[in-house]
Structure 1
Amino acid sequence: MILLLARHKVLDTEAFLVGYKDEKASSLREKFGVKDESAWKTIHEENDVLVMHKFESEDQANAFLEADELKDMMKELGVIEEPSLQIFSSL
């Protein structure tokens, strides 16, 4: 199992969350094999968001990260900086 952590700066956390939960974003995650996901915001800075996605393989995670659809979706959701990314494998 692969865990992808993506930390984003967003324009508006509430707007990000609404878009993140809608059918278009959900379909994109499903298309690239996301098995589980969650979104978090930091306590002290509203527009600092952490997204966690689980995949069966590193190849799936990398395909998701390289997808033009993901880049377009991030713009639609109000992501304003390149994300900070970390990928982990289960022990």
Structure 2
Amino acid sequence: MPVQAARLANLRSVIRLLEEEGLVTRQSQADYLDNAVTASRLQAMLDGSHIHTLFAEHVEHVLFKPRGWMSECHSAEALDMAEDPPEVSG
């Protein structure tokens, strides 16, 4: 799987988890990710825009994932992020 495809699949699974935890707006999701990108940029990435390495690494840091996690295919995780979901507070 190409890196961008893996990042997109993993970002979409992260967003699905955040939505399940009650963070349903792009702004609340961007806030949870420490405002590394704007809500509109987050939406653009979810729509297929380029996901930069620095953003991918930031998401890994916020979610306590190992470096490179966003750029790798995680078949089970990309579908439902069943392994070690982050705790969402507030």
TM-score of the superposed pair, with normalisation by structure 1: 0.34
Report which of the two structures shows the higher radius of gyration computed on alpha carbons.
1
- Structure number having the greater helix percentage: 2
TM-score of the superposed pair, with normalisation by structure 2: 0.34
- Structure number having the greater strand percentage: 1
